[in-house]
Amino acid sequence: MEFLKKHKSVVVVTLICLVLFILAFLAVYRMFYPSNSKSVYGNRLDNAPLIDNAVIEKIKKEIIATDLVEEISYSTNVTIMKFFIDVKADTKLEKAKDLTSIILNNLSTKVIAFYDIEVYFTEKTEKNSNYPLIGYHSKNATEFSWVGNVSGDLDEE
């Protein structure tokens, strides 16, 4: 007890430094190891409409049924729906672009209003210089916007 009376200021400064060090350690720990209770994407997906797998399969079947497509795959990333379509070598650009109407016609208006849609057209044999072709439909847009192969001419058919 006499030690505390004799070195009162040193003890007070040491206790204050110890408390500050513990608080700083906790702050750094929480910065590097945040709690896992929060979503990685924040609250962006709170009101997201569900995308039914049956609808996606129906879209794939209808697109393949056109006989313009060899293969189609689908993925989603947060608020972006992505369709990867491998077309046949003799497929014209306008016919490929028309396939996007199948996608829009089968999706609900809630899904179209929430998700952006990207469509990637490729042609494996590379005989058709118009491909790859990328279509993008923003949730605020009424139609797709297109970006084609820069070495090819988009108006060729």
Domain region containing 20: 2-32
Compute the C-alpha angle 94/96/99, nearest 5°. Answer: 110
Token pair in block for residue 53:
């797998």
pTM over 0.75: no
Are 6 and 64 within one domain? Answer: no
Spell out the per-residue pLDDT of the chain, length 157, in tens: 787 778 888 889 999 999 999 999 999 988 888 776 666 666 676 777 888 889 888 988 988 888 888 889 988 888 889 999 888 888 888 888 888 888 888 888 888 888 888 998 888 877 767 778 888 988 888 888 888 765 544 454 4
3-state secondary structure of 51: coil
Q: What is the CATH number of the domain that holds 80?
A: 3.30.300.190
Residue 155 lies in a domain: no
- Are residues 106 and 58 in contact, defined by beta-carbon separation less than 8 angstroms? yes
Are 110 and 73 within one domain? Answer: yes
Q: What does the pLDDT read at residue 157? A: 43
Q: What does the pLDDT read at residue 21? A: 96
CA–CA gap between residue 78 and residue 5 (Å, rounded): 63
Question: What sign does the dihedral 149-150-155-156 (CA atoms) show?
Answer: negative
